[in-house]
Structure 1
């Protein structure tokens, strides 16, 4: 640091600035500065373009998310009218069952000719569907008793609900599935030794009561009643699962595979809206389960799968499973109570798809 009285020597650049205000160094660097400014301007324009593209992408995603939120909100608002819809469906089904019933009325009077014809048509449709399904079914070490048992499976599924009869009608028209049943076992180990689960785990056939092989278009079923253990009221209890319930679930998984061509998920692979809605339904169901809300065993089993794909494929098949397990009226009531969004998704998205294909054939 210079002290008082010391001589301070100016640098060349400082002297030039003091004299003329512009240095030779500055004059010599003018061209470089102009080039740098041009480069910066060009680079800024490119950057601005990238920012605009990014802004449009973000805006598009925001629009999609906003539409998704609006759809979820509408889905919530639809629960109230959905209850009326389910009630109307139950009344419609009860009326249909009444018109299809055989025999006489309470007073002993017989039904008129039109009602008998309607009943006959319904019986013919059921018999035709069951006959076709039996032609697609292979029973291990078959005999007459086993044949009648399997016919009973299909009849129960068909009669359970108009929704499950529509499912079988689709398979009747499509005829692409093969059903293999072992009536002497509750698992499928005698039908297939090793397989890979939807969670991607290599398993033995003893681990499955039923299994849907999408690649071979095969459904495997252990035809004996399956006893399983669940926790209720903080203690283990044993319950029975009828084979026709499991068969209905596996058949629905195959129907989803045929219709949507998306690994068994109930929406097309490029349908972002329904994919997000279905994921939302699954996540809300998982949150309910994790919070300790009591859910049905079929729902709990579907949500217990390890991977999102396995849960999505299994969850949609809960609907026909519960309709066969509890009957149409009680099954719909339980679904409305436990999984209203799932039932709404099934009624408004899945069923119209199935019906449109059945009507085309």
Structure 2
């Protein structure tokens, strides 16, 4: 410690502090800090604005989709009316000569029953065509009746699924091959490459839509089976009617859009981006732990975007066949509302326009 008589030499910083001033070093440091704060502030503001813009645009899209989903019940009505109108138009000639109609054209009490009969004739005509396109392994009367029941259930499930069968009825060329004695397709094909591009034995596939050969394969026996998932065996259930509707839906997508099974045309960038976003949202929801029906879960569990997106669109008819029109639509709205909206607003109009 310096004595009283010693001369103490203060450093420039100490002298400035003693006088209450600011040194050049300190002033430069403060200037640099201010510049850094200004830079960070302006940079953050720019980033914040960019994120806000992205979130806002995303929220606008989602809000519009949510608003549209709430109107799904209203959207279904025109489709149903369209299907009914088509049925009535096709049976116009037959109904005009029907014995149920009197010569003077006066209405009878049996009009409602006559309408039901027309609907049944339309169903039978469509199912007859689908049966003519179907090959049943080691066929017999019992198996024929069983497969016919598959098509009847799909047709009756919903106006959307009946419209899908009517599309195939009028646009022949698809061949359906079914093994009623097995849950898988191992007796129909030895091996195939799935939508992920992986080579699979027939024993691992319960359904398959071969776009290049325009063939649909199905294991027609319902029941439980096991798959190895997450280091353990998991029990699953094979519903042949739902599986058949999914494979037929994939074939319809291929025939309509001619884009490897994607539910949009090759040059439709807007629909492509929208559908990719819908698939990503559904995948994020599943990976976050939200419960998903196994049909949705299986589609989203595909490893590639091609596999997921081609499989996912077929979930809509699959759910309607599995749970019925009301139950299936309710589950779809709860778990994948945007996918449902896309199917209603984009796929259905395309089918209708081609049928027309």
Q: TM-score range by the shorter chain?
A: 0.7 to 0.9
Cα contact 1:90–1:329 (8 A) shared by 2: no
State the Cα distance separating 1:246 from its structure 2 match. Answer: 0.2
State the Cα distance separating 1:119 from its structure 2 match. Answer: 1.1
Matching of residue 250 in structure 1 with residue 272 in structure 2 = no
**Which residue number in structure 2 is paired with residue 120 of structure 1?**
117
Matching of residue 351 in structure 1 with residue 348 in structure 2 = yes
Cα contact 1:68–1:277 (8 A) shared by 2: no
Query: Once the two structures are superposed, what CA deviation does each residue of 1:172-220 show, in whole Å capped at 9, x if it has no partner?
Result: 0001100000001111011000111111111111110000100000000
| Equivalent residue runs for 1:179-328 within 5 Å | 179-229=176-226, 238-328=235-325
Quick one: structure 1 residues 271 and 82, their matched pair in 2 at CA, closer, same or farther if it must change by over 3 Å?
Answer: same
Cα contact 2:226–2:235 (8 A) shared by 1: yes
Query: Once the two structures are superposed, what CA deviation does each residue of 1:294-339 show, in whole Å capped at 9, x if it has no partner?
Result: 1110010000101110111000000000000000001000000000
Corresponding pairs, count: 280
Quick one: structure 1 residues 68 and 348, their matched pair in 2 at CA, closer, same or farther if it must change by over 3 Å?
Answer: farther
Unaligned runs of 5+ in 2: 1-52, 88-107
Q: 1:152 aligns with which of 140, 149, 152?
A: 149
In 1, the alpha carbon distance for the partners of 2:154 and 2:72 equals 23
Cα contact 2:219–2:240 (8 A) shared by 1: yes
Quick one: structure 1 residues 325 and 230, their matched pair in 2 at CA, closer, same or farther if it must change by over 3 Å?
Answer: farther
Unaligned runs of 5+ in 1: 1-65, 101-110
Quick one: structure 1 residues 293 and 128, their matched pair in 2 at CA, closer, same or farther if it must change by over 3 Å?
Answer: same
Quick one: structure 1 residues 68 and 155, their matched pair in 2 at CA, closer, same or farther if it must change by over 3 Å?
Answer: farther
In 1, the alpha carbon distance for the partners of 2:242 and 2:277 equals 26
Point out the more displaced range, 348-357 or 67-76: 67-76
Q: 2:130 aligns with which of 123, 133, 137?
A: 133
| Equivalent residue runs for 1:33-112 within 5 Å | 70=57, 73-86=60-73, 89=76, 112=109
- TM score, norm. by length of structure 2: 0.73
Query: Once the two structures are superposed, what CA deviation does each residue of 1:73-109 show, in whole Å capped at 9, x if it has no partner?
Result: 2343231343233267479969x99xx9xxxxxxxxx
Quick one: structure 1 residues 229 and 289, their matched pair in 2 at CA, closer, same or farther if it must change by over 3 Å?
Answer: farther
Cα contact 2:282–2:336 (8 A) shared by 1: yes
State the Cα distance separating 1:226 from its structure 2 match. Answer: 3.9
In 2, the alpha carbon distance for the partners of 1:71 and 1:354 equals 29
In 2, the alpha carbon distance for the partners of 1:75 and 1:261 equals 28
In 2, the alpha carbon distance for the partners of 1:236 and 1:203 equals 18
State the Cα distance separating 1:148 from its structure 2 match. Answer: 0.2
Rg larger for: 1
In 2, the alpha carbon distance for the partners of 1:339 and 1:229 equals 26
Query: Once the two structures are superposed, what CA deviation does each residue of 1:17-55 show, in whole Å capped at 9, x if it has no partner?
Result: xxxxxxxxxxxxxxxxxxxxxxxxxxxxxxxxxxxxxxx
In 2, the alpha carbon distance for the partners of 1:84 and 1:291 equals 27
Quick one: structure 1 residues 202 and 92, their matched pair in 2 at CA, closer, same or farther if it must change by over 3 Å?
Answer: closer
In 2, the alpha carbon distance for the partners of 1:117 and 1:202 equals 52
SS, match of residue 180 in structure 1:
strand
**Which residue number in structure 2 is paired with residue 48 of structure 1?**
none
SS, match of residue 129 in structure 1:
helix
- TM score, norm. by length of structure 1: 0.72
Matching of residue 174 in structure 1 with residue 175 in structure 2 = no
CA RMSD of aligned residues (A): 3.0
State the Cα distance separating 1:227 from its structure 2 match. Answer: 1.6
Cα contact 2:245–2:317 (8 A) shared by 1: yes
Point out the more displaced range, 170-179 or 116-125: 116-125
Quick one: structure 1 residues 135 and 72, their matched pair in 2 at CA, closer, same or farther if it must change by over 3 Å?
Answer: farther
